[in-house]
């Protein structure tokens, strides 16, 4: 009955275009009862976008002897837009000429609006669902932010949207990245990052959403140096919508910003949609970050493990090498010792010298050591009470490499032991002068004994002598041993291609 | 009685070289040549009159394999000496005779006899 009450009636003469309508028909067009209402008035009131469709449908129904059944918009005298459903049929004379056309009208604005709303809502849900799926599968930050920015810009009705998000680089420092939708990147390239201005700050602080029909009228707008409004050349923004993106842990990951040149664009619905997208974005970004940090941690651990393997290999090599050296010293010392006691004394001093060399090197992180310090260390046990029995002269800055250091410590230890047993240090008045000089790519070390008993060339080469002469090969050095009357003189001349 | 086999020693640590020399002499071998660095080792591997070589794998931080290549080319057998273990060797040398540091005279003897015998 209600429907019947709103059903209008119309009758048209296609030739004269005379129109007869009921009051309900008039009401469907926003007219008062009995108000004059011509066919021209009807056509003029049809929404311009629908006029052609109406014209064609009427012509077709008449030509095909078919039913007219169309829905279109009309504009009432007060300017409001309404939907109407119009049905009708032509009546023909015996010659087949249409004489009359008659039908009904029915206002369907409410139904149409809910149809459109339903359609929009369905589309929105589909898009939201699609975003959800994309974000669930995608753990790449770049893709996530672009998907989110594009979708939110489209669904909110914005002209353009931006997503500013914090990124933490490999060094653990945070910086701001941005993604755009709706405008080319160049449109914003010349502007600085949004700072903590009165407009942007609440979003970056995660203090909640801002939706404004006209941001230029907002008291927070244009408060900040140097622009006091939007920067020159910035795309015009009147309608403004900004939503913070906050992680599960409450950390602000960034902010979504939307703009439109017209006022009043962003509806409460747009706000709800964008808030929903922001929540999905936060979860996806959290996941992406978790994955990234897990990957970083894994890579870091692998790197550390590789490093450790290398170190262990190197350590193993050094330990085994040192054991081989100890074995060599033991074998040779044993061969030249007449008694267990002699063996023990010689072996001990040699092993201690080797340990001393390692100490020196490990103090310098195995990057070499000062020659003066090295000689001092070797001779310290032979210092004796009172004035030292030896003098050192040389540049304290001369340094030797690890391999040279070990060889020199061993050789100097042999020289000192021999001096104590048979040479200058075996007598209270004896003295040893050690000097060194580095020049022209050569390092010369001199060992001069004086005041000792007369020396002569030994008939048999002991291990000490063999050791000193042999180390020369290691050092690419010339070793000269002279058994002078006053004492032994040993000179070591090392080739040094690179300064170390 | 054939002439004793001549051995090339490539080892950068003098004292270990000394130990090898002593062990080889005691086992009745002749020292054919000695090198303490890679360059010297390469030229001696090319020219020295030798029957077998003992090569320290790590020569002053460098790997000894270029010398091993030369010896392979000459058809001379060689024994590696290493503190790293066999896994420190590249694939194509894994099956080569290898002595672990610190080496023992008995192992050296066995390996020399077997390697020379397999020629």
d(CA A243, CA A251): 14
Q: What is the three-state SS of chain B?
A: CCCCCEEEEECCCHHHHHHHHHHHHHCCCEEEEEECCHHHHHHHHHHCCCCEEEEECEECCEECHHHHHHHHHHCCCEEEEECCCHHHCCHHHCCCCEEECCCCHHHHHHHHHHHHHCC
d(CA A93, CA A353): 133
> pLDDT tens digit string along A18-45?
999 999 999 999 999 999 999 999 999 9
- Label the pairing between strands B6-10 and B52-56: parallel
pLDDT at residue number A104:
93
Summary count for chain B: helices (H), strands (E): 4, 7
Is A170 a residue whose pLDDT tops 70?
Answer: no
Name the residue among B56, B102, B100, B97 with its Cα closest to residue B77.
Answer: B97
| pLDDT, averaged across chain A | 85
For residues A235 and A126, is the Cβ–Cβ distance under 8 A? Answer: no
In three-state secondary structure terms, A432 is: strand
d(CA A231, CA A235): 9
Contacts of B36 in chain A (CB under 8 A): 473-474
pLDDT class of A84 with cuts at 50, 70, 90: very high
pTM: 0.58
Q: What is the mean pLDDT of residues A460-479?
A: 80
Residue B100 to residue A320, Cβ atoms within 8 A: yes
State whether residue A407 sits within 8 Å of chain B by CB.
yes
Q: Give the closest-approach CA distance of B12 to chain A in angstroms.
A: 7
d(CA A184, CA A162): 11
pLDDT at residue number A3:
43
Is B3 a residue whose pLDDT tops 90?
Answer: no
Residue B83 to residue A467, Cβ atoms within 8 A: no
Domain map of chain B by residue range?
A: 6-117
Residue % of chain A over a pLDDT of 90 = 30
Residue B18 to residue A324, Cβ atoms within 8 A: no
* Element containing residue A8 per DSSP (H, E): strand A7-12
pLDDT class of A71 with cuts at 50, 70, 90: very high
Contacts of B83 in chain A (CB under 8 A): 316-321, 324
Q: Token digits for A8?
A: 């209008």
- Of all residues in chain A, the one with the smallest CA distance to B12 is A474
- Of all residues in chain B, the one with the smallest CA distance to A464 is B15
CATH architecture, domain defined by B6-117: 3-Layer(aba) Sandwich (3.40)
Instruction: Find the length of chain A.
Output: 500
- B112 by Cβ neighbours in 10 Å (0-12 / 13-18 / 19+) ranks as buried
Q: What is the mean pLDDT of residues B67-88?
A: 89
Instruction: Find the length of chain B.
Output: 119
Contacts of B106 in chain A (CB under 8 A): none
The more confidently predicted of residues A353 and A197 is A353
- Of all residues in chain B, the one with the smallest CA distance to A333 is B19
Domains of chain A: 2-107 (3.30.450.20), 115-295 (3.30.450.40), 351-495 (3.30.565.10)
State whether residue A62 sits within 8 Å of chain B by CB.
no
Mutate to test the interface with B, among A310, A328, A467 (most CBs of B within 10 A): A328
Number of Cβ within 10 Å of residue A14's Cβ equals 16
């Amino acid at each position: 009955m209600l429907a019947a009450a709103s059903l209008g009636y119309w009758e048209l003469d296609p030739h004269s275009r005379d129109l007869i309508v009921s009051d309900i028909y008039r009401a469907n067009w926003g007219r008062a009862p009995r108000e004059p209402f011509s066919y021209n008035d009807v056509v003029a009131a049809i929404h311009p976008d629908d006029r052609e469709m109406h014209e064609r449908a009427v012509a077709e129904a008449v030509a095909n002897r078919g039913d007219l059944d169309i829905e279109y918009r009309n504009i009432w005298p007060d300017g409001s837009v309404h939907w109407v459903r119009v049905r009708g049929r032509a009546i023909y004379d015996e010659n087949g000429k249409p004489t009359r056309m008659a039908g009904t009208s029915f206002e369907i604005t409410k139904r149409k609006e809910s149809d459109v709303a339903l359609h929009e809502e369905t589309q929105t849900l589909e898009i939201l669902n699609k975003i959800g799926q994309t974000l669930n599968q995608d753990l790449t930050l770049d893709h996530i932010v672009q998907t989110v920015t594009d979708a939110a810009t489209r669904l909110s009705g914005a002209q353009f949207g931006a997503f500013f998000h914090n990124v933490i680089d490999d060094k653990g420092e945070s910086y701001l990245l941005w993604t755009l939708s709706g405008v080319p990147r160049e449109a914003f390239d010349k502007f600085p990052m949004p700072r903590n201005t009165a407009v942007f700050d609440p979003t970056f602080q995660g203090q909640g959403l801002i939706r404004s029909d006209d941001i230029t009228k907002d008291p927070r707008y244009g408060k900040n140096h140097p622009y006091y409004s939007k920067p020159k050349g910035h795309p015009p923004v009147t309608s403004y919508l900004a939503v913070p993106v906050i992680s599960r842990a409450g950390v602000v990951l960034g902010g979504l910003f939307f703009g439109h040149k017209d006022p009043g664009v962003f509806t409460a619905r747009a706000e709800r949609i964008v808030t929903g997208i922001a929540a999905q974005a936060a979860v996806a970004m959290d996941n992406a970050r978790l994955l990234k940090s897990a990957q970083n941690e894994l890579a870091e651990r692998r790197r550390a493990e590789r490093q450790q393997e290398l170190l262990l290999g190197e350590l193993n090599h050094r330990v085994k090498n040192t054991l081989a050296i100890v074995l060599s010293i033991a074998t040779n010392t044993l061969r030249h010792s007449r008694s267990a006691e002699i063996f023990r004394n010689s072996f001990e001093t040699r092993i201690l010298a080797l340990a001393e060399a390692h100490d020196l090197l490990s103090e310098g992180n195995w990057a070499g050591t000062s020659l003066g310090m090295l000689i001092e260390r070797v001779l310290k046990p032979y210092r004796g009470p009172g004035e030292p029995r030896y003098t050192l002269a040389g540049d304290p800055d001369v340094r030797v490499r690890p391999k040279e250091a070990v060889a020199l410590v061993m050789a100097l230890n042999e020289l000192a032991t021999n001096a104590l047993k048979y040479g200058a240090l075996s007598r209270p008045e004896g003295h040893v002068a050690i000097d060194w000089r580095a020049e022209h790519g050569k390092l010369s070390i001199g060992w001069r004994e004086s005041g000792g008993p007369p020396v002569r060339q030994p008939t048999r080469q002991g291990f000490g002598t063999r050791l000193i002469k042999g180390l020369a090969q290691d050092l690419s050095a010339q070793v000269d041993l002279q058994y002078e009357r006053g004492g032994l003189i040993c000179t070591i001349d090392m080739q040094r291609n690179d300064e170390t | 009685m054939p002439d004793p086999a001549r051995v090339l020693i490539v080892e950068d640590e003098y004292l270990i070289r000394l130990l090898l020399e002593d062990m080889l002499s005691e086992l009745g071998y002749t020292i054919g040549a000695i090198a303490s660095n890679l360059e010297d080792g390469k030229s001696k591997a090319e020219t020295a009159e030798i029957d077998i070589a003992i090569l320290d794998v790590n020569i002053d931080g460098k790997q000894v394999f270029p010398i091993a290549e030369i010896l392979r080319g000459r058809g001379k057998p060689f024994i590696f000496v290493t503190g790293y273990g066999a896994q420190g060797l590249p694939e194509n040398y894994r099956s080569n005779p290898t002595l672990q540091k610190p080496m023992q005279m008995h192992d050296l003897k066995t390996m020399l006899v077997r390697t020379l015998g397999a020629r």
